[in-house]
């Protein structure tokens, strides 16, 4: 006799940033293919950036339904003005995120008749307000770390670092071997204090207290999931996250969909949207493993001077390159490239505003990736067997650069 029980219903709440939304989307699809009903919550600001016409939320949901996956996308305002730069004023962004709990609860309750009862919430490790949300709804809260285990361990143990006087960082002592951080669980290599996130440098940094609050709420989770495979960092690193609740490695979450699509020769949907892919035709004209793919993700910024030095380095390399140059990559402003740069490298370059990374990394003409060491790019590049040149810029990227070498 067929079961009459309603499907399990998972509410998925990524931090409103593309680099967080993409792995959550892959995880949500993995669950949906196993019969879960998925409610995917975005803020209006990030939805406008991850859904591009004609692939709006309704169209993506319709396509997923055709594939047998039960999805719905819900949105709510984040409380910030429309033209607020969000990720460029990171403390104001996080302060707004901390206030969204009641709004998300009201949103779910107002649409409760459209879905089965909620089974649990899978939430971003940095989305602290979902702890209150899960309590109000009376359901388990599962944290999904979109970082590596080693970086997650550092962030999850912020209070330990504070209690031992290791943060705020004493800049004068940061390079002394006796100042290296060795008290963290998971048998991760010693961490240089200067490689911690910048917000740990000064207690007066508004993000310092915010991160301490986030770290505290992480301890109240029922389960933890990590977007990594155990062989990359070892079972001890995974165990290092299990001190408050069980932790499980489930990554890379993109890989099953990618492999199944490759086997069936289907078009691979590697993100929430697709864009003009004309530059893939350009890749088709290049020699095997000759192209350097250059991408620094959806948030990271560099100075105009760094951008211009990078451009001159690519020019001097004499290698063909595909470079993702976001409009706000240089100090949040429009990129200013060296005079005459495009004309001098025209025959061996393609500059784009965005690219589906998996499609690019999987192309036979791509021979390397220049990356800011973001975690999404790391397992994707390893899975594709593409060498990396790593230029960590901010956040937890310096920690990973040390722990994975």
Q: 20, 26, 78, 195: which is the annotated catalytic residue?
A: 20
Cα separation, 228 vs 315, whole angstroms: 35
* 163 backbone dihedrals φ, ψ, rounded to 5°: -60, -35
β-pairing verdict for 291-295 and 366-371: parallel
d(CA 184, CA 197): 16
Burial of 24 (0-12, 13-18, 19+ CB in 10 A): buried
Q: How far is it, in rounded angstroms, from Cα 389 to Cα 387?
A: 7
Q: Which of 26, 70, 87, 124 is catalytic?
A: 124
> How many whole angstroms separate alpha carbon 280 and alpha carbon 358?
12
Q: Which residues of 153-165 are buried (b: 16+ CB within 10 A; e: fewer)?
A: bbbbbbebbbeee
Neighbours of 205 (CB within 10 A): 17
Catalytic annotation present for 124: yes
358 token code pair:
């998996």
20 is catalytic: yes
Closest by alpha carbon to 30, among 231, 259, 274, 275? 259
Q: In the chain, what's the furthest Cα-to-Cα distance?
A: 72
What value, to the nearest 5°, has the Cα angle with vertex 289 and ends 403 and 304?
60
Please give the positions annotated as active site: 20, 124
């Amino acid at each position: 006799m067929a079961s009459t029980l309603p499907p399990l219903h998972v509410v998925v709440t990524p931090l409103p940033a593309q680099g967080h939304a993409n792995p959550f989307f892959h995880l949500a699809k993995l669950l949906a293919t196993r019969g879960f009903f998925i409610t995917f919550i975005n803020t209006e600001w990030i939805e406008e950036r991850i859904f591009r016409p004609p692939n709006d939320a309704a169209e993506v949901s319709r396509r997923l339904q055709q594939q047998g996956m039960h999805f719905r996308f819900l949105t709510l305002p984040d409380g910030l003005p429309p033209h607020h730069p969000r990720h460029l004023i990171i403390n104001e962004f996080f302060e707004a995120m901390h206030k969204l709990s009641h709004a998300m609860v009201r949103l779910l309750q107002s649409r409760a008749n459209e879905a089965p009862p909620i089974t649990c919430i899978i939430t971003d490790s940095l989305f602290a307000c979902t702890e209150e949300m899960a309590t109000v709804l009376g359901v388990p809260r599962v944290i999904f770390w979109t970082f590596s285990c080693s970086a997650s361990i550092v962030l999850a143990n912020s209070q330990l670092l504070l209690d031992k006087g290791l943060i705020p960082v004493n800049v004068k002592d940061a390079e002394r071997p006796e100042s290296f951080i060795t008290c963290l669980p998971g048998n991760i290599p010693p961490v240089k204090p200067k490689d911690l996130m910048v917000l740990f440098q000064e207690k007066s940094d508004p993000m310092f207290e915010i991160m301490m609050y986030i770290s505290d709420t992480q301890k109240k989770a029922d389960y933890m999931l990590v977007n990594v495979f155990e062989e990359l960092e070892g079972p001890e690193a995974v165990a290092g996250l299990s001190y408050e609740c069980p932790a499980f490695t489930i990554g890379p979450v993109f890989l099953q969909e990618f492999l199944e699509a490759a086997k069936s020769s289907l078009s691979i949907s590697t993100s929430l949207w697709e864009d003009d892919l004309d530059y893939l035709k350009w890749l088709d004209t290049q020699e095997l493993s000759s192209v350097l793919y250059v991408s620094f993700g959806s948030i990271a910024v560099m100075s105009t001077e760094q951008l211009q030095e990078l451009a001159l380095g690519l020019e001097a390399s004499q290698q063909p390159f595909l470079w993702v140059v976001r409009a706000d990559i240089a100090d949040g402003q429009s990129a200013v490239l060296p005079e005459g740069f495009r004309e001098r490298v025209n025959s061996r370059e393609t500059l784009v505003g965005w690219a589906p990374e998996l499609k690019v990394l999987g192309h036979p003409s791509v021979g390397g990736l220049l990356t800011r060491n973001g975690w999404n790019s790391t397992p994707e590049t390893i899975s594709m067997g593409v060498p990396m040149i790593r230029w960590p810029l901010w956040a937890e990227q310096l920690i990973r650069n040390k722990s994975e070498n």
